[in-house]
Each structure stands twice: as structure tokens, then as C-alpha cells.
């Protein structure tokens, strides 16, 4: 590849009016992690967050107080950037068309399962999400978890080359949080308090299977679970389908289950739970997994992208998952040092400061510049 002068790169970040938390979704954190990585790239001169949304200057100052890079508005971005990476938000044609016309490059960084999201919105008459971009993008970056469902979808939809990029994570936001006793698993509990934290806003991550997994474990051994807290379900308590589903389970009838609102992981673990039970459908890379592993908490999951970390069951097999939960309860404390070591080795692969990750993103950026 030919040599390029260092470029100025912006990453879009949606800032809303009013209170906003970095823990609301993984995309906000991903913006920060990518900004940290690009600061280390030899082809990048400056990195900025490009704020869109209805948030005013005070909202931006508050939300971006801990940003690793400066932020700018869309007008400033148009005047100064060489490359725009759309991550947390997309910009309209009135911005993107003249930006590309003057030689700017645009990368669509897709870190959600857009095929499923778009399919749900089409089927159920919801407001559209990404769907068809009217302005050409120069490249699409996505994650390994979307290779099967979204990579071909993006290739045809965007008419642009699609690259599978490393998922990025670091414990920065955990380290900044004040957690009484520290964000770490405490061994020695006779019974486990389990948390289920699926967002329940899209079919790829819902609480149904984790609840059935806990139900299966409880039926096999009623002395294992002290409490099952199902977060992000307050809006479902009176749902005509969810309510009878939940009330049919022994974990509910025996008083073990509680249905809660949304909380950051640093407030759930270890304050309200000793471990995490999860399920995903073509969404195998999740920050909550990394956070649990970082703290040494038992993670019962069905992801095939976590290496040898956590305790894995397969697919939708909640009976196998129940057995895996019981096995974890029996062995976790005895093998905690090994569990932590395996997690540490895996999490190092995700670090934005990992030279391999910096090289991969640098090469992808060079391809965009030469497109």
C-alpha cells in the first residue's frame, strides 16, 4: 500500500436531550474503545467524536466528560475530517453527499444485528432502522458474530466491501466505577443469586431461555438458587404472553424470581448477583460477558466466540444449560484461579491497545483511503 499523510478521523456518537449513561448499550462504549485504538494508529493524526442527536452543549459536556478524545458537532466534522466512521448514529444525505463529493470517506461500522432488526421492523410495522442508505459508503466494518446473518446482507445493501473487525473491550468503565468491595466474585456462597440481563428489545437477546435454564437447574436441585433477578423486565410484568409464561415456572411460584428494571453491571454484580445466565441468537459477542469474566463471576452462556471461558451450553438447549449451571455451582470456587487466568488471556485479545488490533484497524483504514 502507498504511504498516506496522517488523517483526521471522526466517530459518530448519538447524544440525547437529558440524562444519558455510558452503560445504556454497548455501542456507546464501543465508540470510546475505537477512539482509544485509533489514537495509537500510525496513520491517524486526530480522532474526534462527532455528536449528533438532540442533546445540547450541556448534555454533551456531561455525557462526554470522560471521553478519551475531543468531540465536535456535524458542521465542524464536515470542515475538518478526512474519514467519518458511522457507529452510534448515521448522518443524513445532506451531510454525506457533499462530504464524499469533496473527497471524504465514510465507513459504516455496524455493531448490531441489523438483518434481524430490519426484519422485525418490516414485519411489525416499526419505524425503520438502517435499511437502505441513499449515499454510497466506502466500506462496512462489522463483527465476527454477524458473519453469517449480516455480512452478505451488508455487501448487497451497501454496495461496499465488508470487513470482519476485532471486537474491542477494556475494563476502563468498571475501573472508574465505585463498587463497594470491588467488582469481583466472592466465593463461599451456599446458594447462588443469579442475574439475567438480556435487554428484551429484540429477538436476539431475550430472557425466556435464561429463565427456563434456571428453571431446569432448580428442578434438578432446589438447593442451588437463592434468587433469580430478571432485569429489563418491568415493562413485561403485565404482558399477556410474558405474565402467564413466568407464572408457570417454579422459580416464580416458589418465590425465587424478581423482575427488575435496568441497571449497570457494576450495580448488579456483585451487589445483587453472584453469577450471570445468558442466551443469544447470532449475537455471540457481548460486553456483559466480558464484564462478568473480568470480575471472575460464573458466566453460563451459549456463545461460540468466548474460547474456553465461562460455562457453555449449546444453542437453545435450556436443559443442558441447567446442567451446566449446576456444574458451575459445584466447581467454580475450586477452580476460580484457573477461571480467572483463562478469562484474562481472552480479554487481552480484545484490548484496544493490543498491537494486533491496532494493526488490523490501521490496515482497514488504509484500504478505505485507497478506495
* CATH 3.30.1300.10 at 7-170+351-370, yes or no: no
Of 196, 186, 224, 185, give the one whose Cα is nearest residue 330. 224
| Segment of 46-55, 118-127, 352-361 carrying the highest mean pLDDT | 352-361
Whether the domain at 7-170+351-370 and the domain at 174-348 fall into the same CATH topology: yes
What angle in degrees, to the nearest 10, is found between the helix axes of 318-331 and 208-220?
A: 60
∠ CA 220-203-171, nearest 5°, is 80
Of 350, 353, 277, 336, give the one whose Cα is nearest residue 307. 350
Q: What is the CA radius of gyration of the chain?
A: 22
| Helix (H/G/I), strand (E/B), else coil: 190 | coil
Nearest-angstrom CA–CA distance, 206 and 197: 9
Domain map of the chain by residue range?
A: 7-170+351-370, 174-348
What's the Cα-to-Cα distance from 302 to each of 177, 178, 294, 354, rounded to whole Å?
A: 28, 30, 18, 26
Average pLDDT of the chain? Answer: 93
pLDDT per position as a tens digit, 169-193: 999 999 988 777 789 999 999 999 9
* CATH 3.40.50.2000 at 174-348, yes or no: yes
pLDDT per position as a tens digit, 118-128: 899 889 887 76
To which residue does cell 471486537 refer?
Answer: 167
Of 135, 37, 151, give the one whose Cα is nearest residue 90. 135
Nearest-angstrom CA–CA distance, 64 and 48: 11
Q: Give yes or no for a contact between 219 and 183, defined as CB atoms under 8 angstroms apart.
A: no
Nearest-angstrom CA–CA distance, 53 and 64: 14
DSSP secondary structure letter of residue 238 = T
Question: pLDDT at residue 24 above 80?
Answer: no
Nearest-angstrom CA–CA distance, 70 and 103: 23
Nearest-angstrom CA–CA distance, 314 and 226: 25
pLDDT per position as a tens digit, 3-21: 678 999 999 998 888 887 7
Termini Cα distance of the chain: 12
pTM of the model: 0.95
List beta partners, residue 48. Answer: 10
To which residue does cell 471521553 refer?
Answer: 67
Q: What per-residue confidence (pLDDT) applies to 134? A: 62
Q: Give yes or no for a contact between 9 and 85, defined as CB atoms under 8 angstroms apart.
A: yes
pLDDT per position as a tens digit, 257-314: 999 999 999 999 999 999 999 999 999 999 999 999 999 999 999 999 999 999 999 9
Amino acid at each position: 500500500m502507498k504511504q498516506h499523510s496522517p488523517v483526521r478521523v471522526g466517530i459518530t456518537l448519538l447524544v440525547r436531550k437529558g440524562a444519558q449513561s455510558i452503560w445504556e448499550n454497548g455501542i456507546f462504549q464501543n465508540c470510546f474503545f475505537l477512539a482509544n485504538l485509533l489514537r495509537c494508529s500510525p496513520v491517524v493524526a486526530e480522532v474526534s467524536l462527532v455528536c449528533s442527536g438532540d442533546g445540547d452543549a450541556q448534555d454533551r459536556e456531561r455525557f462526554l466528560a470522560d471521553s478519551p478524545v475531543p468531540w465536535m458537532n456535524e458542521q465542524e466534522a464536515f470542515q475538518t475530517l478526512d474519514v467519518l466512521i458511522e457507529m452510534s448514529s448515521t448522518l443524513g444525505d445532506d451531510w454525506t453527499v457533499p462530504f464524499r463529493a469533496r473527497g471524504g470517506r465514510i465507513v459504516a461500522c455496524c455493531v448490531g444485528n441489523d438483518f434481524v432488526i430490519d426484519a422485525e421492523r418490516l414485519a411489525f410495522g416499526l419505524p425503520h432502522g438502517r435499511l437502505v442508505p441513499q449515499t454510497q459508503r466506502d466500506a462496512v466494518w462489522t463483527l465476527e458474530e454477524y458473519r453469517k446473518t449480516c455480512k452478505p446482507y451488508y455487501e448487497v445493501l451497501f454496495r461496499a466491501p465488508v470487513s470482519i473487525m476485532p471486537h474491542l473491550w477494556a475494563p476502563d468503565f468498571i475501573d472508574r466505577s465505585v463498587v463497594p468491595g470491588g467488582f469481583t466474585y466472592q466465593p463461599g456462597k451456599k446458594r447462588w443469586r443469579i442475574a439475567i440481563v438480556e435487554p428484551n428489545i429484540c429477538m436476539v437477546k431475550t430472557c425466556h431461555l435464561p429463565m427456563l435454564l434456571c428453571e431446569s437447574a432448580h428442578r434438578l436441585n432446589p438447593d442451588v438458587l437463592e434468587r433469580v433477578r430478571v432485569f429489563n423486565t418491568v415493562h413485561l410484568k403485565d404482558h399477556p404472553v410474558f405474565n402467564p409464561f413466568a407464572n408457570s415456572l417454579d422459580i416464580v411460584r416458589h418465590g425465587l424470581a424478581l423482575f427488575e428494571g435496568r441497571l449497570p453491571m457494576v450495580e448488579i454484580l456483585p451487589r445483587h448477583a453472584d453469577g450471570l445466565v445468558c442466551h443469544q441468537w447470532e449475537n455471540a459477542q457481548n460486553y456483559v460477558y466480558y464484564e462478568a469474566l473480568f470480575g471472575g463471576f460464573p458466566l453460563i452462556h451459549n456463545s461460540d466466540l468466548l474460547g474456553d471461558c465461562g460455562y457453555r451450553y449449546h444453542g437453545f438447549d435450556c436443559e443442558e444449560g441447567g446442567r451446566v449451571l449446576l456444574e458451575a455451582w459445584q466447581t467454580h470456587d475450586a477452580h476460580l484461579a484457573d477461571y480467572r487466568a483463562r478469562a484474562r488471556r481472552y480479554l487481552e485479545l480484545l484490548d484496544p491497545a493490543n498491537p494486533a488490533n491496532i494493526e488490523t484497524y490501521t490496515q482497514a483504514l488504509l484500504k478505505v483511503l485507497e478506495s
